[in-house]
Structure 1
Amino acid sequence: MPREPRYTTKHRFPRIERDEEKVRNVPAWPVIGIFLILLFYFITMAAAFLMPVTLAVLLFFVFVPFRRLMDGIGISSGISAAIVTVGMVMLVGGLGYFVSGPISDIAEDSPRIAERLEERFQTLRENIRPLEEAAERIDEVTNNDEAQEQEQVESEPATSSLDDPGVIGGPATTTTEVSAETVAPPDDIDPQEVTVTVDTQETTTLQAIMETGPSVIGQIVFTLFLLFFLLASGDLLYLKVVQSFDTLGEKRAAYTALREIESALGSYLGAITLINAGLAICIGVTMWIWGMPQPLLWGVAAFILNFIPYLGAVTGVAACFLVGLVSFDDIGTPLLAAASYMALTAIEGQLVTPYFVSRRLQLNTVVVFITVALWAWLWSVLGMVVAVPMLVVLKVLADHIPGLEKLGNFLAGDPPPTLDDDEEEDDDKSATDADNVTAPTATA
């Protein structure tokens, strides 16, 4: 005989019969919106950790073909990783050594540069002073007209009944006298002396560099160590990603996507790096021809800024114009130098890059601009640098993940297909034939 439970419920809620087919669909957009808000907050708060990790993973995909090539000739993955890491350290160190001299000269001449800029802007302000005087005269005429209209309104007699002393309930005059003795402080309270200290010390550029230097160096070291371990592990990362899927088809698709990311990033960053190097040489020589100070620094700056789409070129042109204002007495030479910078970057962006970069790596221009602005807001300068490589990775993943084909098509920069006249006539003819076929059927 089965044993009865010791505790039994005496009162139960009535059971409600529900139709399983009529299930209420809860909209997913609020959940997606909350997730995106939390994701952006996490990306912003964890920037000090996520920035070096992201940069190391992107560099890993770039240098994987080199590591695989070294494996083919019998060199182990650890040695290949050491070669890549040491090479990057030497590259960054050598670049910093060549740039340190011009930067130190600019830092020493910063007071003179600031005074020179102020003088130049004062000259420009004096040149446009006639326009300001004309605007002030227009404002004076307008203000005089408004003042005359206001005086006419105030001079009109008041017709309100409240101002008539003969009307009951007219305005009453009340005078309240307050003695100074009533508001005097009590004698038992001693006056206290309050000292206010105003700190007018401003943070100099050197102090800002000293404050942010340790964190930047720490992130660079962390990036290099993580890159070393990723390369030294060989194909372990690929293997773990492939093993996380169940079926053989999914494993094959995951491995194909990883190799596609590797090829796309390698092709994109390799081509962009070579193009930027050529652009840096051209801009450096052009600045030397115009007599701009520190042409080597201009070349290095152009090489780095051109990794940032659109905004990098604008920053370079503005900096060229400002430095030209400080360096030259006339206004024509700074304008010509800035125009030369803009012309070279325009040729690179409109002709050279589309020719050498494969068509499958071309992205939607609007999406690229919005992505660069978004990551600049999240991660500042490094965000602008890694924005396009991360967009390339997202496009490759969207092309290989079922259900994200429309996203991949939206991110692509291919021009829309154009319909020829013959195709449009064929479409119209097929639509007419379909209407003729359906018409007798509806009559029957």
Structure 2
Amino acid sequence: MQITTDRKPERSVGKNIALAESPTVVVRKRNGIEALVALSTVGLFVIACSAAVYSMEAILMPITLAIIVGIVLGRAADELERFGLPPIFGGLLLALVFVLGLSSLVNALLGPITDIAREAPRLAEGVVDRILPFIERFTWLRMALIRNADPNALADALVKNAGPMLGTVAAGLTPALIQTLIFLAALVLFLLGRLQLRNSIILAFASRDRRLNAIRIMNATEDALAQYFSTASLIYLVLGVMTMVIAFVGGLTMAPLWGLFAFVSSFIPYLGVTFMTLSLLVGGLMTHDALLLGIAPAVAFFVVHLLMENLVVPAVVGHRFAVNPFLIFIAIIFWTWMWGAVGALLALPLSLIAMTVFEQVREPPAERQLPE
């Protein structure tokens, strides 16, 4: 009887402990469920926003490009105010210069691109003829070429697909023209109402601290974009001049156009240098019969670009715009999938904006202290 009386208190104590711990367990489970619900909500929000951005490409892409260009031109217009020119007129003047420069760039590239497209079959045949002796060293490649060799296949394919290709090009020109008009209109209107829009965003916050935070974030974003584009433009201008010299020494025609193309393509990380190197490789192989002379311009440009990106850019820019290369690569893939070539061009500026906003939100400024 004594043993049974001793066991009953132990069982009752165990039940009391379980009852005491049960609210904690319930709270932990509830917190875990709430965390999962929050993560699911955020994930669904991100997916919905991505779907909206993808579906509204025709509107959001030119407006986003106009805002980024307008921020840079607006900050440059603020600097012109020192010479007595109002910011609105300075912004419009810079916008006019930008549009004229963009039109000149398109006209300069349109002619050679049209000639290359017209002579594409002959150029491709010439490149194949030069590379074929080196490809024949590999048995499996030679067998594949022999199996698929048909001298009239390319011409027949071009003739059969000429109509659909022209239809596709015509179908793509109309949206591009509309997006260009949206971009120009958004750029002009943004420059005209930039200061008013800025004041409206600041006054939308009720408290003084939030208004100061908004001013600080907007100033940091504008400074980051202006510094990045001004510094990158100077660096890539030097790269364009060096590319022009490489093309001239390498015997390529239209050397200034190669330099201009190198300057523009350098604003697209990774993809620009890849496309430029391949273009120089094709141009060199079409110009020279010797393989070493043909690949020399592409190799020289790649080495120069590699040195500038790894030595000059870090030395000039420093750690101010040091973004993780993996994140930049992911951003390029994402925005290229979203908005195509323009998305690839906007990937780095958008990443820079996101990084600047994150830094400003994460690190609040130190409290101001009155001098003693």
Same-fold call, TM cutoff 0.5:
yes
Residue type at the aligned position of 2:39: W
Q: Report the Cα offset of residue 205 of structure 1.
A: 6.3
What is the CA deviation profile of residues 227-265 of structure 1, one whole-angstrom value per residue up to 9, with x for unaligned ones? 111111241121111112221111111101111111110
Q: 1:129 aligns with which of 118, 126, 139?
A: 139
Residues 335, 344 of structure 2: 8 Å contact kept? yes
Could you tell me how far apart the structure 1 residues matched to 2:78 and 2:168 are?
42
Extract unaligned runs of 5+ from structure 2. 1-22, 144-158, 364-372
Greater helix proportion: 2
Residues 56, 226 of structure 1: 8 Å contact kept? yes
Q: 2:119 aligns with which of 109, 113, 117?
A: 109
- Aligned residue in 2 for 1:38: 48
What is the CA deviation profile of residues 389-417 of structure 1, one whole-angstrom value per residue up to 9, with x for unaligned ones? 1111111111122xx46xxxxxxxxxxxx
- Aligned residue in 1 for 2:278: 318
- Aligned residue in 1 for 2:153: none
Could you tell me how far apart the structure 2 residues matched to 1:201 and 1:132 are?
28
- Aligned residue in 2 for 1:344: 304
Could you tell me how far apart the structure 1 residues matched to 2:140 and 2:78 are?
69
Could you tell me how far apart the structure 1 residues matched to 2:244 and 2:214 are?
44
Could you tell me how far apart the structure 1 residues matched to 2:164 and 2:137 are?
32
- Aligned residue in 2 for 1:85: 95
What is the CA deviation profile of residues 20-44 of structure 1, one whole-angstrom value per residue up to 9, with x for unaligned ones? x959332122222222222222111
Q: 2:105 aligns with which of 95, 101, 105?
A: 95
- Aligned residue in 2 for 1:152: none
What is the CA deviation profile of residues 316-344 of structure 1, one whole-angstrom value per residue up to 9, with x for unaligned ones? 11222222222222211122222101111
Could you tell me how far apart the structure 1 residues matched to 2:327 and 2:173 are?
33
Residues 324, 337 of structure 1: 8 Å contact kept? yes
Extract unaligned runs of 5+ from structure 1. 1-18, 134-198, 406-444
Equivalence map 1:142-291=2 (5 Å): 200-202=160-162, 208-291=168-251
- Aligned residue in 2 for 1:386: 346
Residue type at the aligned position of 1:24: R
Q: Report the Cα offset of residue 123 of structure 1.
A: 3.0
Residues 73, 95 of structure 2: 8 Å contact kept? no
Q: 1:284 to 1:205 in 2, by over 3 A?
A: farther
- Aligned residue in 2 for 1:155: none
Q: Report the Cα offset of residue 295 of structure 1.
A: 1.9
Tell me if 1:300 matches 2:260: yes
Could you tell me how far apart the structure 2 residues matched to 1:317 and 1:302 are?
9
Percent identical pairs in the alignment equals 24
Report the secondary structure of 1:359's partner residue: coil
Tell me if 1:330 matches 2:336: no
TM-score normalized by structure 1? Answer: 0.66
Residues 74, 87 of structure 2: 8 Å contact kept? no
Could you tell me how far apart the structure 1 residues matched to 2:45 and 2:333 are?
21
Q: Report the Cα offset of residue 315 of structure 1.
A: 1.8
Greater C-alpha Rg? 1
Q: 1:308 to 1:318 in 2, by over 3 A?
A: same
Greater shift, 373-382 or 24-33, is seen at 24-33
Residues 279, 302 of structure 1: 8 Å contact kept? yes
Q: Report the Cα offset of residue 202 of structure 1.
A: 4.1
- Aligned residue in 2 for 1:50: 60
Tell me if 1:68 matches 2:78: yes
Residues 82, 228 of structure 1: 8 Å contact kept? yes
Q: 1:130 to 1:245 in 2, by over 3 A?
A: closer
Residue type at the aligned position of 1:299: G
Residues 80, 231 of structure 1: 8 Å contact kept? no
Residues 44, 379 of structure 1: 8 Å contact kept? yes
Q: 1:24 aligns with which of 30, 55, 63?
A: 30
Residue type at the aligned position of 2:199: L
Residues 285, 291 of structure 2: 8 Å contact kept? yes
What is the CA deviation profile of residues 8-60 of structure 1, one whole-angstrom value per residue up to 9, with x for unaligned ones? xxxxxxxxxxx9x9593321222222222222221111111111111111112
Q: Report the Cα offset of residue 70 of structure 1.
A: 4.1
Greater shift, 313-322 or 62-71, is seen at 62-71
Report the secondary structure of 2:252's partner residue: coil
Q: 1:336 to 1:205 in 2, by over 3 A?
A: farther
Could you tell me how far apart the structure 1 residues matched to 2:189 and 2:317 are?
30
Residues 235, 313 of structure 2: 8 Å contact kept? yes
